[in-house]
Structure 1
Amino acid sequence: MARVNSTGRWLPALVLLLVFAIDRAHKTIMLHVLDWQGGEAIIVTPNFDYVLVWNTGVSYGLLSTIPAIWLSVAMIMVILALAIWWWRADNGLTRWGLSLALGGALGNVFDRLAYGAVADFFSLHAGNYYFYIFNIADVGITFGVIFLIADMVLPRRRIAK
């Protein structure tokens, strides 16, 4: 494994913290300043609503019957594994992807530990077909996964010896 210059970690680490902080700030404003409890909705466009839905599961409500503490423990284990991968990564695209995903994962695990569920706000739909209701943490996770997929499929530059 190639040795990574530690300064190559600072900016991705800052992005990780920024994703977490923006997610926390948004949720804090909505839950504790505006006092949204769940079910509130603002129709923004014909295909986008701003709502508060508590997700007790993971993506699309999967695993919602598992107690929040066990989902939290599983998420913390995944976060630790991703953090180790992040630390060992010798590729900038990998580290950026992991930074975005980790920032989002930390935001969602914070919700699960604090509230027993994850607060989701952004609802995309076409007519009565609702896609995904998500939050800022989920955006970080999604872009992180896109970066990781790009890292897998894009050709690597070879260093001439």
Structure 2
Amino acid sequence: MAKTLPKQSGSNGAGGTLVPWLGIAVIVILADQLTKIAIAKIFSYGEGRAITSFFNLVLVYNKGAAFSFLSAAGGWQRWAFTALGVVAALVICYLLKRHAAQKLFCTALALIMGGALGNVIDRLMYGHVIDFLDFHVGGWHWPAFNLADSAITVGAVLLVFDELRRVRGAR
């Protein structure tokens, strides 16, 4: 008699394939890097251009983390944030493999991983992150950011939404 082998497809949410999720991360990385290259070729450091009444493109560098946190820390932050991004990507790969059937959860993680690695690439290549999206409304002005930061933010929002949905479904 033939033996039946256990399923390896990840249909139960564990042990699934990483390919679609890594594909999303790679798309984020490519879009992020291509836009940064384009902005760096078009603009000089600090140069900007108004696009609308609330949005500018401007080339700025960020040696720190979000909102330039620790940007003047003396250089160690480059390696700390690089290591943090790499460790986060490894943990995310583990979670993606384990929960591959949870599409929204994995999409969120893939966006976060792509954004984190996009900024890691900048830190390794340039020693800083290239930011260029500059929004302002009235007297409010947000720090400039990039597509990697946007992917991380969208991924975080999707994680919260997914968890709220999961909690509500458990009731």
TM-score range, shorter chain: 0.7 to 0.9
Identify, as 1 or 2, the structure richer in strand.
1
TM-score normalised per structure 1: 0.85
Percent identity over the alignment? 30
The 5-angstrom pairing of residues 62-141 of structure 1 reads: 62-64=69-71, 65=73, 67=76, 68-89=78-99, 90-141=101-152
The 5-angstrom pairing of residues 16-55 of structure 1 reads: 16-31=25-40, 33-34=41-42, 36-55=43-62
- What is the Cα deviation at residue 23 of structure 1? 0.7
- What is the Cα deviation at residue 13 of structure 1? 2.2
Q: Which runs of 4+ in 1 moved over 2 A?
A: 1-7, 9-13, 155-158
Q: Distance in 2 between matches of 1:119 and 1:146?
A: 23
Q: Distance in 2 between matches of 1:77 and 1:59?
A: 18
Q: Distance in 2 between matches of 1:47 and 1:92?
A: 34
Q: Measured at CA, do residues 76 and 5 of structure 1 come closer, stay the same or move farther in structure 2, by a change above 3 Å?
A: closer
Secondary structure in 1 matching 2:166: coil
Structure 2 residue runs without a partner (length 5+) = 1-9
Q: Measured at CA, do residues 3 and 71 of structure 1 come closer, stay the same or move farther in structure 2, by a change above 3 Å?
A: closer
- What is the Cα deviation at residue 114 of structure 1? 0.7
- What is the Cα deviation at residue 63 of structure 1? 2.0
TM-score normalised per structure 2: 0.80
- What is the Cα deviation at residue 142 of structure 1? 1.0
Aligned to 1:14: 23
Structure 1 residue runs without a partner (length 5+) = none
- 1:124-143 Cα deviation digits (max 9, x unpaired): 11234211311111111111
Is the contact between residue 16 and residue 97 of structure 2 (CA under 8 Å) also seen in structure 1? no
Q: Distance in 2 between matches of 1:5 and 1:113?
A: 32
Q: CA RMSD in A?
A: 2.2
Aligned length: 155
